[in-house]
Every structure is written in structure tokens, then in C-alpha cells.
Amino acid sequence: MNPDLKKSFRPFQRNGVRGALYCDGVSLETLARKYGTPLYVYSAKQITERLELFQRAFAGREHLVCYAVKANSSLAILKLLAERGAGFDIVSLGELARLVVAAPNAIDRVVFSGVGKTESEIVAALVDGILQFNVESESELELLAKCARRLKKKARFALRVNPDVFAETHPYISTGLREHKFGIDIRKAAEIYRAAARSKWLEPHGISVHIGSQIRSAEPFGAAMERVSKLLMQLKREGIALKVVDAGGGLGIDYHGGSEGADPAAKVQEYAAAIEKALADFDGKLLIEPGRFIVAQAGALVTRVLNVKKNGKKTFVIADAAMNDLIRPALYQAYHEIVPVKPRTGRARAVDVVGPVCETGDFFARDRMLKPVEAGDLVALLDAGAYGMAQSSNYNSRFRAAEVLVEGKQHRLIRRREKMKDLLATEII
């Protein structure tokens, strides 16, 4: 068995004589029986612990951890984080609306990122009084000024600069190179700040970067911040003193169950040290936008085995969850550990774990060593709290899964399973 399941910072651990899998104080079997499958299960304890790791690591300066809502936008999770002092990074009107419902008192802790903001999104965010717009182009800045003038409300903005730093990650989630669609060329930024400083409706408030996601080494974060720091000092000499640096998100987690020996607390320390070293000359406020690191390891997708089928030499474990519930393996060849909820005796063998969707790409794992499982058994896909439910869909007209939040020994439904009427609600014949 994966030794990492025993580590204290992981909420999914084996318990009792037969070693059944628990989320904190609650057995996954109990949850599956009560709420059905596929089921997303999250540990509230882990989510708050991860937020606190960042808050502690940056305690030496004024800071705000702006959780990236896109990683998991469930209202109960947003509320939990807001209550513990988090700010938020949003990318759409929908994400703003979620916060208005779940955390109305935290709207002044919101930054608005995203490569294509519409006029109505900008207006709504100005009216609601968010902290800062992270602007991705000169034309977007013009649009922001126009909206601010109309509302007679000065807009605080940061330019999202593209630092041209390479971050080792999957190409679909790397963003910090000049060839990517994100941000403004860092060499052009000073000129744009200068022009904006003359506008009555724009306040040069900060500078932001985001170099990519699932980045496991601290070094590229430091490199990006060094470039930001140079620009900050240059602007300061010209009389433009920015109050905020937003270092973005992107710190990766260990999807391989701790085999790299990484302690999350140490990872956050390393990350903070790299950023702080590069920003030694900056005495303003630091924002960060972690998403994955806060919620990924807090969540598992629990699914029931429908069938175990042999085709020639291959064995397929067909689960009741599919790519519409968790698309990461199909989309990024992502690895998620898969473990039986109640282990049976017997030797592990190589299987493909797949869903019922009519696509060859509908798989969770290929040639994966798995302890024996039979139809009716439960298995858990670990580290599924980030970009799992948030990227789910109704493909194949499947109902999206339910979500449960575990708080110690308590558990509660935070999203009910969809029904047919939910699927048909928006359609017109």
C-alpha cells in the first residue's frame, strides 16, 4: 500500500482492522452508501490547513492569499476559506456571483484575472468594489478606464506581465512564456503604467504574474519575481509606486503519493523563500493566487466498480465515474492515485480503470497496478479536489456528481447530485 496514506497531512487514510479508507473521521463507504456515487469528498480540515500554510509562510509581510476560485468553486468551500481570511482570484462574472452568494464580506479581497474580460463583467466587478483588476492587454485597460469613467469610480489595476520564464509543467498549463496568450510583454509594461498614471479613472495599484500551474520547483517563481522586482524599482524611480505584487498561483502538489518525499509545509516554505528573496527591496503587500495546492489533496472522487471485464490480455475496471466527472487524465495525461476503499487480499495486477463514456479517452489510468477489485467495490481517485468537479460536464447526458464536505466526524452534502430536470432546465424544443 502507498505509505503516504499514513502521513498526517493527508486526510485520506486507512483505519480499523480491515484498513478501510477514511476521510478524516468518516469512512468513505458510509458516505458512498448515504450519498451515492460518483461522489466528491472533501476534508475541511485539510483545506484550512493548506490556507494556513501560506498565511504562515508570508506572515513577515502584509499579504493576502487569494484562492483561485477556478480550482474548486463550490460555495461551501468558498465560504470556509473566506471565514479564515482568504481573498479570491476570479476569472468570470460567474465566479464573482458565487462569491457574492458565499462570501459577500470578502468582495473587497477579490482580484479579477483572465485574458478576456467583457464590459459587463468589468462593470459588475467595479460596482461590487473588488480589490484589483489584473489587466492583460492595453485594450483591456482602455475598456477598464471607460467603464470606470461611466461609473465615476476609480479602478485599481495591476498589469499582468508576461515575465518570459519557463516553468516545467504540462504545456497546456504553462503560461509564462512570450509565446503564450497571457499577459503583457514585461518590456512594454513601464510605458503602459506611465500612460495610465495620467488617467483620472485608473489607479496603478499593482503588478501581477502567473507563470503556470502544477509547478513543483520554487526556482521559476523566484526568477519571475526578480524580473518583477526590477520593473517595480524602475517605476518607483519614475514616481509610480505600486502597492501590491501579485505573484499568481501555480505551486504544484505531489500526485504520486509522496514518493518524492515532499512535505507540503516545506514546499510552501521553499516557495515563499524564493519569492521573498526576489522581493527583498519591495515593502508593499504581496498577493498570491494558489488554487490546486489548497484543495487538490483535500478531495477524492469515490466511484463504484460496475464491472470488471477482460478483453484479450487486458483487464478493464469499469467505474461509475467517467471523464465527465474528472477529465484530468484524458486532458493532460494526469496521474491520479487509485485505491480500493476496502482492500481485498490478493496480488495487485495491471488494469485499465475506465468510465462508461463512449470514448477511448475515457480512462482514469492505464496499465495501473491495482489490488483485486470486483463489481460493487468502491475505489477512490485521490488528489481530485482541484480541477475535478470544477471541470466536470454533462457529456453523454450524465448527471454531475454530488459533493460532500467532511468536518472531523461530521459530513454534509454541499452539492446534491443532478437530476434529469436539471439537465433539461435550460433547453427549448
The residues of the shown chain that bind ligand LLP, judged by CB under 6 A, are: 68, 71, 89, 113, 173, 210, 213-214, 248-251, 289-293, 328, 332, 386-387, 391
Q: Are 288 and 249 in contact (CB under 8 A)?
A: yes
Grid coordinates standing for 38?
460518483
Question: Minimum distance from CB of 331 to ligand LLP (Å)?
Answer: 7
Kindly tell me which of 148 and 287 has the beta carbon lying closer to ligand LLP: 287
Kindly tell me which of 340 and 385 has the beta carbon lying closer to ligand LLP: 385
CA gyration radius for the chain?
Answer: 23
The CA distances from residue 261 to 90, 254, 256, 410, in Å, are 32, 9, 10, 31
Question: Minimum distance from CB of 295 to ligand LLP (Å)?
Answer: 8
Kindly tell me which of 79 and 180 has the beta carbon lying closer to ligand LLP: 180
The count of C-alpha atoms lying within 13 angstroms of the C-alpha of 282, restricted to the half-sphere facing its C-beta, is 32
Written as one letter, the residue type at 305 is V
Q: Establish whether 358 is a catalytic residue.
A: yes
User: ∠ at Cα 16 (12, 17), nearest 5°?
Assistant: 130
**CA dihedral defined by 310, 5, 71, 264, rounded to 10 degrees?**
-140
Kindly tell me which of 223 and 305 has the beta carbon lying closer to ligand LLP: 223
Kindly tell me which of 176 and 258 has the beta carbon lying closer to ligand LLP: 176
Question: Minimum distance from CB of 293 to ligand LLP (Å)?
Answer: 6
Question: Minimum distance from CB of 24 to ligand LLP (Å)?
Answer: 23
The CA distances from residue 389 to 38, 188, 237, 335, 415, in Å, are 11, 38, 46, 16, 10
Question: Minimum distance from CB of 174 to ligand LLP (Å)?
Answer: 10
Nearest to 379 by CA among 365, 399, 367, 390: 365
Q: Which of 23, 66, 147, 358 is catalytic?
A: 358
Catalytic center residues: 358
